[in-house]
Amino acid sequence: MKRNGSHTERHNLKLVRETRGGQRYEYYPLGRFVVIAPGVCGGRPTFKGTRLEVETVMDCLRAGRNLQDILESYPSVSRAAIQEAIRLAGRALTEQSSRQAA
């Protein structure tokens, strides 16, 4: 992860360490389901325990795919996880807009 102004530093995220399937898994939680895991997908947000980037699901939604279709395509991700990703994206947009307006 980058230092000095990285996403994780700006939001004071704490690194969580778990063992999953006998493997060490480290991540910075952005929510209950959305994380940044160092060394996974270039540090871009993914769904916890997967290599599925949040951006991939958002691209599916932008392309007009419905939630049920996405859930069937990515069975490792729950409805609640996708809903959280949508909320986090909305919050990020609001924060960015507020900073630019100030």
Whether the CB-CB separation of 55 and 43 falls below 8 Å is answered with no
SS in 3 state form for 32-76? CCEEECCCCHHHCCEECCCCCEHHHHHHHHHCCCCHHHHHHHCCC
> Residues 82-97: what's their mean pLDDT?
90
d(CA 91, CA 24): 30
**pLDDT computed for residue 49 by the predictor:** 94
Residue 2: pLDDT over 50: no
pTM score over 0.85:
no
**pLDDT computed for residue 100 by the predictor:** 75
Q: pLDDT tens-digit profile of 29-42? A: 999 999 999 999 99
Q: pLDDT > 70: what percent of the chain? A: 88
